[in-house]
């Protein structure tokens, strides 16, 4: 049969109809299969994960065919450690199956921050600096010192704290502030042979402060500095004759070289008492 007659024949149209029907059926099967597989336009509200622990989140996500990722951690005093404190999308927002939920968890431990150096600046500056680090200023204690209204020491739980020490964010820092010098005077005590801590106690008892602290070059470690003792002070101990205004600083030099320690407070102070007795006798 010629091709032209076949294309116009009933048989051709029957074959064409069968082929088109098969293609339509295939397309419909693929379309509905993809719709079922992808859950086309099928959504449901996002569960509320706030306050839940990670294991609970995992269980719910498995049931709902969702995925989750913890993208951040913060510390909230009012939330349970390890619990979810934020989520995206928020609860109630419609999502599809296999959607990833982004979560923020409450840290198990409080956040730590390095202690800033608040010494040598005004109270206002110290307060602003502490706020940057998430710290709070507590009590202010004023002592007589030449640096009026400047921070002399910074205290954490009653103890001096060094710059860089890790402490809990939100901690309270107390400040010891200079109130200026007094018109009253006090005698300079003998510090020779004492370590820095004992010298500071003795100076405080005399209403004086430690000024510059100079270590020998051979003092390299913390252990070296702890064992070091004072071999020189300024103003010098002068048998109860040298006086300073209350709150004045006394500079000290420390060493581990015993040959440098040529004076000892025990003998000098004993001699000072003898001078006092002689003065009393002269008065009599």
pLDDT tens, position by position, for the chain (284 residues)?
555 565 566 676 677 778 888 888 888 777 766 655 555 568 899 999 999 999 999 999 999 999 999 999 888 777 888 999 999 999 999 999 999 999 999 988 888 899 999 999 998 899 999 999 999 998 888 888 888 889 999 999 999 999 999 998 889 999 999 888 778 888 899 999 999 989 988 887 887 888 899 999 989 888 888 899 999 999 999 877 888 888 888 999 999 998 998 887 876 655 555 444 444 444 44
Determine contact, residues 87/55, Cβ cutoff 8 Å: no
Domain 112-178, CATH among 2.40.50.140, 3.30.70.360, 1.10.357.10, 3.30.10.20: 3.30.10.20
Q: Which residues contact 244 (CB under 8 A, 6 or more apart)?
A: 185, 186, 188, 208, 235, 250
Distances (CA, A) of 92 to 44, 128, 194, 212: 8, 41, 70, 64
User: Is the Cβ–Cβ distance between 121 and 129 less than 8 Å?
Assistant: yes
**Domain residue ranges of the chain, discontinuous segments joined by +:** 43-106, 112-178, 185-283
What confidence score (pLDDT) does residue 141 get? 85
Q: What is the pLDDT of residue 33?
A: 66
Tokens of 79: 């939330």
DSSP 4-62: HHHHTSHHHHHHHHHHHHHHHHHHHHHHHHHHHHHTTT-EEEPP--TT--HHHHHHHHH
Architecture of domain 43-106: 2-Layer Sandwich (3.30)
The predicted structure's pLDDT at residue 281: 43
> Which is nearest to 172 in space by CA: 222, 126, 136?
136
Helix (H, G, I), strand (E, B) or coil at 73: strand
Pairing of strands 243-245, 185-187: antiparallel
Please confirm whether the linkage preceding 103 is cis (ω < 30° from 0): no
Same CATH fold assignment for domains 112-178 and 185-283: yes
CA atoms in the 13 A half-sphere facing the CB of 72: 9
* pTM for this model (two decimals): 0.48
CATH, range 185-283 = 3.30.10.20
Nearest residue to 121 (alpha-carbon basis) of 154, 167, 166: 154
Burial 170-195 (b: 16+ CB within 10 A, else e): ebebbbbbbbebeeeebbbbbbbbbe
Q: What is the pLDDT of residue 55?
A: 94
- What value, to the nearest 5°, has the Cα angle with vertex 120 and ends 114 and 124? 80
List the structure tokens of 206. 């005399």
Report pLDDT for 234: 95
Tokens coding 109: 């431990």
- The DSSP code for 157 is T
User: Which stretches does DSSP call E strand in 89-127?
Assistant: 94-96, 100-106, 112-114
pLDDT value, residue 21? 82
| pLDDT of 275 | 47
């Amino acid at each position: 049969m010629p091709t032209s007659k076949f294309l116009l024949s009933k048989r051709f149209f029957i074959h064409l109809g069968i082929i088109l029907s098969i293609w339509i059926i295939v397309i419909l099967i693929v379309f509905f299969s993809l719709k079922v597989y992808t859950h086309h336009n099928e959504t449901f509200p996002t569960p509320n994960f706030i306050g839940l622990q990670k294991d609970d989140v995992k269980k719910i996500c498995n049931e709902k065919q969702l995925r989750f990722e913890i993208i951040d951690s913060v510390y909230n005093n009012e939330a349970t450690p390890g619990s979810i404190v934020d989520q995206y999308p928020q609860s109630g927002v419609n999502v599809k199956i296999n959607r990833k939920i982004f979560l923020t968890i409450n840290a198990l431990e409080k956040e730590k921050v390095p202690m800033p150096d608040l010494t040598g600046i005004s109270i206002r500056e110290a307060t602003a600096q502490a706020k940057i680090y998430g710290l709070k200023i507590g009590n202010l204690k004023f002592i007589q010192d030449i640096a009026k209204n400047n921070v002399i020491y910074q205290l954490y739980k009653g103890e001096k704290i060094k710059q860089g020490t890790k402490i809990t964010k939100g901690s309270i820092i107390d400040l010891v502030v200079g109130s200026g010098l007094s018109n009253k005077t006090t005698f300079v005590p003998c510090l020779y042979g004492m370590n820095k801590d004992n010298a500071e106690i003795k100076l405080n008892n005399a209403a004086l402060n430690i000024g510059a602290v100079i270590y020998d070059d051979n003092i390299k470690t913390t252990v070296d500095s702890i064992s070091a003792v004072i071999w020189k002070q300024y103003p010098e101990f002068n048998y109860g004759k040298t006086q300073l205004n209350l709150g004045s600083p006394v500079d000290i030099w420390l060493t581990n070289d015993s040959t440098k320690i040529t004076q000892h407070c025990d003998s000098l102070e004993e001699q000072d008492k003898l001078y006092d007795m002689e003065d009393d006798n002269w008065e009599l």
